[in-house]
Amino acid sequence: MSSGTALVQFCDFPSTELGHSRDLQGLREDRMKEFKGKVAVITGAASGIGRGIAERCASEGMKVVLADIEEASLAKAEMELKTAGARVLGVRTDVSKRSDVELLARQALDAFGQVHLLFNNAGVAAGGAPWEATWNDWEWVIGVNLWGVIHGVKVFTPLILAQNTQCHIVNTSSASGLIAGGGSAPYAVTKHAVVALSESLYLSLQQRNSLVKVSVLCPGLVRTNIGNAERNRPAELRNEPVAMTPERQAGLTAFKAAIEASMPPSQVADVVFDAIRKEQFYILPHPEWTEVIQLRTDKLLRMENPQNPAATVAKLISLRG
């Protein structure tokens, strides 16, 4: 195979589809502007960003399917949204399991008939340096953060495409998916992968002039329970207890304080819905983080070695706090 042939296959130019679809002017009319009566499916919906998005969906008059692994919080969120007048279905879902996501899709369609907005949002954090993160850390974080999004994309995209109507998929990554970092390797690896997956999904659908649009959400710090993700780690993937050193305690205390001072999920939801209306792919609720993103990009383009962004990140956090 020649290098030219390999490049064409890699870029996946759809030769049978480039010349026969709607013109670009017509595509502009396909933007999703109204949400009332439409259906949203949200993973990780019982708390944090997912809960903020669920509340925004309900306020828009949407029918909302809440998916989460944490049953008590899921039931509470479902009850509170129903009390506020929304049509809501709660489905306990472990996104790391394909069968759970397939069941989620069936229940969503059985209840409401269609899905117009899909938020692959569930996420966890664990581990440290690549060799220090345990096998359990790697398996758990990849299972939720990456396989969870893959399952959502693989299960829901064909169903959404078959509807032949305006729809939008939002995959939650992180600012950590756009920068170099030496913190949690499993987290950074999965968040970079979600950006790549989302870019591939966006371009593949664009090549087919699909009515289904895609965004990737890359927030900085948000007021969520991510620091307490261990509460949902499966028993079979738990680590042996580790002694709490003064250094570790100080780090956890500082992280908790930064989270408490960070952006509320409702504000992230506002940014997300604005991006959906604009068909904006990259969603950065914290524009100040572009400084850290630029740091990595500049190093890459100059073919220089990575630089730890910790000092710049700390500065941004202190300015917001």
Catalytically active residues, by annotation: 187
Closest C-alpha among 75, 101, 102 to residue 89: 75
DSSP per residue, 203-240: HHHHHTT-SEEEEEE--SSBSSSGGGGGGG--GGGPPP
> ∠ CA 126-127-133 to the nearest 5 degrees?
145
Residue 295 CB coordination number (10 Å): 18
Phi/psi of residue 63, nearest 5 degrees: -85, 135
Q: How far apart are alpha carbons 110 and 39 in whole angstroms?
A: 12
Closest C-alpha among 51, 53, 155, 47 to residue 100: 155
Q: How far apart are alpha carbons 45 and 91 in whole angstroms?
A: 10
Find out whether 224 and 180 touch, Cβ atoms under 8 Å.
no
Q: How far apart are alpha carbons 73 and 151 in whole angstroms?
A: 23
Sign of the CA dihedral running 45, 49, 55, 60: negative
